[in-house]
Structure 1
Amino acid sequence: MTDDALRILHVVRTRSFAGVERFVLRLAVAQAAAGHRVAVIGGDPARMTPALRAAGVGFATSGSSIHDILLIRRAAHDADIVATHMTAADAAAATALLGLPAALVATRHFTRRRGSRGPRRVYPAIERRIDAEIAISDAVARSIGLPSTVVHSGVEDAASPAPAARTRTVLMAQRLQPEKRTRTGLEAFAVSGLADRGWRLQIAGDGPERELLRADASTFGIAGSVELLGFRDDVADLYRRAGLLLAPCPVEGLGLSLLEGMATGLPAVAADAGGHSEILTGLDPRALFAANDVAAAARSLRALADDEAGRAALGAAGRERQRAEFSISSQLAGTEAVYRRAIASRRAGRREGVPRAAGAATGRRAR
């Protein structure tokens, strides 16, 4: 560790491996590579541990609320920053840090207010202990009802395959949960008529809608053109082989799968809502369709499927935007700037005996 390195503890308080956990894994590894000392509490041990261990990042499995509070408190004695992800982690860390000097920074991943799915009265006390809030997109910053600093999520640059390597495949890569609107995407593929033109739909991901999707494919008469792949560890390879990426979710905070696909030059079609709009606005107008509009999604798919040159141009433009605006290096710099401001704010507050600001101005960009 260098003299200016930070001691960072990430807390996610789940045992799963969805978008937030992937975000934490990617950021923790990058922070360790930048010279900081990093540890993580939470996430799927089987999928988190190998990469974290290889990067020199400590890992502990999340358990009960009491277990995690004690774990956080013990680790926080040797931390400059406790970085939380999702409300359960915010609550546990705010409790664990009572009387301790570590700064608490909450990253907001979703376009809703804290406690929107539960009793709101307990959250003001949690928010008073939080020193700064990071929003992963402008859409999230506008929705959370608190001051925040926008730091866009970043993904690693990736190799782009030759156009001939791409197949006539539409790919959806997401959890099979109702809010992801996978069934909307499936219906849009059916309405587009691409199955009759030799295109296939691949759906990578798992969840409670799996059998509903299988039944829908049969109902729409496209079962022979749809592959339900389940959870895949080789999604990066799927991005490099697919011809189009379809992202129908209207409530994404940003859209990691969308960015990962764009990094490979994969042209994307997405719901014009949430973080998707920030990522794709200004590229090919066919890349965005009105959220939940099956016919509009079908038109975008059909138009791009019929335009090989247009797909290549959209893929190249998307890749350029990912590298310019959604890189790991820019995320690291923005995140560290928020961390250091939070540390300074907490130290000043403790020294001067005055309350700390909850964060930067709503929607403020990291500098």
Structure 2
Amino acid sequence: MRILHIATRHRRGGAERNLVHTALWETRQGHEVHLAVGRDSMLSEIPAALTVHVVPSLVRDLSPVRDLLTLRALRGLISDRRFDIVHTHQSKAGILGRLAARGIAPVIVHTIHMAPFGPAYGTAASAVFVRAERMCARWTDVIVSVGEELRSGNIAAGIGRPAQYTVIRSPIDVAAFVALRARPAEARVTARQRLGIDGSGKLVVVVASLEPRKRVDLIFRELAPLVRGEEVRLAIAGDGPKRDRLSAQAAALKIAGGVHFLGHVSDIPGLLSVADLLVHAATVEGVPQVTVQALAAGVPVVATEMIGLREVPGAAIRIVPSSGDGLRGSVVAALAESPVPVAIDAFDAWTDAGVDRSLAALHERVDTLVDKRRRARRP
């Protein structure tokens, strides 16, 4: 099969890791796999096994002229290369890619990595995206969701039918995180030093792109009294456009000495091995992968309310309102308790083997559809 994945941009997030795992699994099955991405992409992060097509006009923001150019470019690419399956990802590419593939590609698949509507987006924007998603769902053969709550929310919004949906988790290295549960205290001290984190005491970790959606500023405001009182230190793993503003905020709150900006951290197991607690405060997610990783590592989690926090069976995440009210108290309470690790088999669906089984089931379904529709088109 010849498969085209389409994404608005390729960076270092959870959606990109999910896409790469899927695409590489497909190449191992003998499929020819291509990836079309917008210009705001880290091309060096894309595996060499994929044939890459950069679409310069494909951008995140709404832009009627560029969107029409993107639609034309994608339609030409799909027609010229005669792809058997077009698999779209992310909101913008999901809409434009499916519009472009309609009537050309035998099978169309879309993966929802994060809800494109809801309170975090505002009423007008949500209404536009719900309408667009409902329209595109009419000619989408399979809608893949990374979580059950995400799936249920889309169906409740009238986007597609239940039979169109399947849930495929974003893979994590479960074994690497579970192994951290038995890590000795001496190793934690060494790991802290290696990360450049000085001082002792409780360490609260935040893993997030430094962009508005992740709301690291809210975490700073709520936890500032704890940092000033030297009850906790904060380690911030991630980079992004708000880096300088967050540094200035930390200084203004007089917590700069207790906040460690680590930049992009590729070794998340190493980071979580030194964490006493993970805090997550994004406005919207699909299933926040770092919370699953922390739970697998035996690290307790405190988070503001969002979709995807209740996906791991038996996980006791402390969830506070989206406003952040009660975040400080929940952090204090969580740090005062001995963590109770989640049963290891609760993470089976996130293992490579579990995800690969789901991908095999997906392809059994779509490959059969491709064969059926190719035969139907023959004269």
| TM-score (structure 2 length as normaliser) | 0.75
Which residue type is aligned with residue 91 of structure 1? I
After superposition, residues 277-288 of structure 1 pair within 5 angstroms as 277-279=310-312, 282-284=314-316, 287-288=317-318
What residue is the counterpart of 1:170 in the other structure? 204
Among candidates 240, 251, 268, match of residue 207 of structure 1? 240
What residue is the counterpart of 1:131 in the other structure? 141
Kindly state the Cα deviation for residue 106 of structure 1 after the two structures are TM-superposed. Answer: 0.3
Kindly state the Cα deviation for residue 318 of structure 1 after the two structures are TM-superposed. Answer: 6.7
Q: Distance in 1 between matches of 2:204 and 2:278?
A: 6
Kindly state the Cα deviation for residue 274 of structure 1 after the two structures are TM-superposed. Answer: 0.6
Q: Distance in 2 between matches of 1:212 and 1:333?
A: 43
Q: Distance in 1 between matches of 2:209 and 2:227?
A: 23
Among candidates 74, 81, 99, match of residue 80 of structure 2? 74
**Identity, % of aligned positions:** 26
What residue is the counterpart of 2:11 in the other structure? 16
State the Cα deviation string for residues 100-154 of structure 1 (Å, max 9, x = none). 3431100112224597374776665533331111111122112223222222222
After superposition, residues 311-330 of structure 1 pair within 5 angstroms as 311=339, 313-314=340-341, 317=342, 320-322=345-347, 324-330=348-354
Which residue type is aligned with residue 203 of structure 1? I
Change (3 A) 1:35 1:155: farther
After superposition, residues 258-277 of structure 1 pair within 5 angstroms as 258-277=291-310
What residue is the counterpart of 2:324 in the other structure? 294
What residue is the counterpart of 1:151 in the other structure? 168
Q: Distance in 2 between matches of 1:352 and 1:272?
A: 48
| TM-score (structure 1 length as normaliser) | 0.77
Conserved 8 A contact 2:237-2:263: yes
Conserved 8 A contact 2:288-2:308: yes
Which residue type is aligned with residue 286 of structure 2? G
1:88 has 2:88 as partner: no
Kindly state the Cα deviation for residue 352 of structure 1 after the two structures are TM-superposed. Answer: 7.2
After superposition, residues 1-367 of structure 1 pair within 5 angstroms as 6-33=1-28, 36-42=31-37, 44-49=41-46, 52-53=47-48, 56-64=49-57, 65=70, 66-75=72-81, 77=82, 79-113=83-117, 116=126, 118=128, 126-144=136-154, 145-146=158-159, 147=161, 148-159=165-176, 160-161=179-180, 162-164=183-185, 165-166=187-188, 168-191=202-225, 193=226, 196-197=229-230, 199-279=232-312, 282-284=314-316, 287-307=317-337, 310-311=338-339, 313-314=340-341, 317=342, 320-322=345-347, 324-345=348-369
**Helix, strand or coil at the partner of 1:42:** strand
Change (3 A) 1:152 1:15: closer
Conserved 8 A contact 2:147-2:168: yes
Change (3 A) 1:124 1:266: closer
Kindly state the Cα deviation for residue 342 of structure 1 after the two structures are TM-superposed. Answer: 3.6
CA RMSD, 1 decimal: 3.2
Gaps of 5+ in 1: 1-5, 354-367
**Helix, strand or coil at the partner of 1:278:** coil
User: How many aligned residue pairs are there?
Assistant: 332
Which residue type is aligned with residue 352 of structure 2? I
State the Cα deviation string for residues 166-197 of structure 1 (Å, max 9, x = none). 35421111122223222222233324x25534
- Which structure is higher in RCO with an 8 Å CA cutoff and minimum separation 6? 1
Gaps of 5+ in 2: 58-69, 119-124, 193-201
Kindly state the Cα deviation for residue 83 of structure 1 after the two structures are TM-superposed. Answer: 1.2
Q: Distance in 1 between matches of 2:262 and 2:285?
A: 22
State the Cα deviation string for residues 13-58 of structure 1 (Å, max 9, x = none). 3153333222212332344345544332227344423xx12xx333
Q: Distance in 1 between matches of 2:287 and 2:331?
A: 21
Change (3 A) 1:38 1:319: farther
